Amino acid sequence: MDSTPARTHASLDSFVDRYAARTAGMTASEIRALFAVASRPEVVSLAGGMPNISGLPLDVVGGAINQLVLEHGPVAMQYGSGQGVPELREQITEVMRLEGIEAHPDDVVVTVGSQQAVDLVTRIFCDPGDVVICEAPSYVGALGVFRAYQAEVVHAEMDAHGLVPEALEQAIAAVKRAGRTIKFLYTIPNFHNPAGVTMSAERRQRVLEICRREGVLVLEDNPYGLLGFDREPLRAMRADEADNVIYLGSFSKTFAPGFRVGWALAPHPVREKLVLAQESATLCPPQFSQMAVSAYLATHDWQGQIKQFREMYRERRDAMVGALEDLMPAGCSWNVPDGGFYVWLTLPPGIDAKAMLPRAVTARVAYVPGTAFFADGYGSGAMRLSFCYPTAERIREGVRRLAGVLEDEIELRATFGASLDRDDVDRGLPPGYDAPGTDVN
């Protein structure tokens, strides 16, 4: 007999029947597949969420870390506490005070980026089949975590002022009617990834009130809060509600992501569980990274540095919005974010952002299709454009290329009409969804 079939079979995954059920939910994200192509230098990537850290003073950082090794090396290079370095947790409370939070360092747990905080919170709360309520759209990395823990995501719509309270109430009621258990609301109140909108102060109070009444814990994810362009930061939701909010913060955008230092601030009993989960996951978060961040905060004008970052990102936001206004064909709409990294672009009816992506990459521009930010297949009529990493000039060039690709698509539709329609194309928004910021476009 020919042995070729056996060989072919051997090249497949021989472990396929042995993985845990949860592993079926671990799939390569659309962003991840994109990174490979978008990282070619000729492509303008409006896809990634990498901060631009070129403004950091390398001599200051290098000097502080060298000093750290010389003076505290045996501690910095040793195992540490599962909860994190006490001095850093003290400094974290100072960072959070900028958004109105009064907290004790004892209720802070340091994590390997705030991504790990999402992972640990989900780990301690979610059994398979439990429901997490998320904004529509929501952060792709969080959706991946919820899927990996076999939790089900139910989206609630946003508008230009953030999560819509009535939509949240409806979602909670629908889940409860179905006899399902809601474990928490996952929300990004400031400069939303990917929607670019900020939840208004009044909305925050209403959302907190609804969640308290309905017994739904709030997971407030706030990596961008200090990166507002036009005003002082809004009060964090956690500032007004300590008992029912887990707050997540990060140094990835206000300092640098390569240290992977984020944190969770949690009600005391939850904090205890998070520490146990952290010990099981890593024994302790990287001591060296934590002490490096702590040394940076202690020796550098970190608030001045954040101010510089804000000005740099504002300039890039202006470049992107200006280019969109100048170049986008009719039928597109977008919001003008007042902070953070992202613009959410809604396409003319019938244009599928995911189907168009290969043509865009051929035209040397990349973005993330809106579908990545929904757990339920919505979003094909939208995309996320990021203005954080490329220069203003490159952003303008990227938008120019994208406009060209879109014009071709629109022309194709005008020529061939509805015969191009696909059932799975939608405006990127669930029924009743009001495009974020269309009123400010």
Residues 149-178 that bind a copy of itself (CB under 8 A): 149
**Between 68 and 399, CB nearer to a copy of itself:** 68
Q: Which of residues 180-209 bind a copy of itself (CB under 8 A)?
A: 183
Distance between CA atoms of 154 and 245, rounded to whole angstroms? Answer: 19
Residue 354 phi/psi, 5-degree rounding, is: -75, -45
Measuring CA to CA, which residue among 361, 332, 350 is closest to residue 414?
350
Nearer to a copy of itself, 50 or 355 (CB): 50
Residue 86 touching a copy of itself (CB under 8 A): no
- Per rule CB under 8 A, count of chain residues that contact a copy of itself: 84
Tell which one of 2, 59, 232, 423 touches a copy of itself (CB under 8 A).
59
Which lies closer to a copy of itself via its Cβ, residue 366 or residue 382? 366
- When the beta carbons of 20 and 173 are compared against a copy of itself, the nearer one is 20
CB of 415 to a copy of itself, least distance (A): 41
Between residues 288 and 374, which has the closer beta carbon with respect to a copy of itself?
288
CA distances from 236 to 60, 90, 204, 315 (A): 31, 18, 9, 25
Q: Are 72 and 303 in contact (CB under 8 A)?
A: no
**Residues counted in the chain:** 441
Binding of a copy of itself at residue 375 (CB under 8 A)? Answer: no
Give the whole-angstrom CA distance, residue 16 versus residue 414. 46
Sign of the dihedral through C-alpha 355, 28, 114, 387:
negative
- Give residues 26-55 in contact with a copy of itself (rule: CB under 8 A): 26-29, 32, 50-51, 53-54
CA atoms within 13 A on the CB side of 8: 4
In angstroms, give the least distance from the CB of 354 to a copy of itself.
20
3-state secondary structure of 394: helix
166 Cβ contact partners less than 8 Å away, ≥ 6 residues apart: none
76 near a copy of itself, rule: CB under 8 A? yes
Alpha carbon distance 125, 207 (integer Å): 20
Query: Which of 93, 115, 193, 380 lies at the binding interface for a copy of itself (CB under 8 A)?
Result: 115
Task: Write out the DSSP string of 248-293.
Answer: EEESTTTT-GGG-EEEEE--HHHHHHHHHHHHHHHSS--HHHHHHH
Show contacts with a copy of itself in window 244-283 (CB under 8 A): 252, 256-260, 267, 269-270, 273, 276-277, 279-283
Please state whether the peptide bond connecting residue 137 to the residue before it is cis, i.e. omega within 30 degrees of 0. Answer: yes
The reply on whether position 286 binds a copy of itself by CB under 8 A is yes
Positions 121 through 140 that interact with a copy of itself (CB under 8 A): 123-127, 130
- Identify which of residues 308 and 362 has a Cβ nearer to a copy of itself in the complex: 308
Residues of this chain, 381-440, that bind a copy of itself according to CB under 8 A: none
Give the SS3 label for residue 42: coil
Query: Which lies closer to a copy of itself via its Cβ, residue 76 or residue 405?
Result: 76
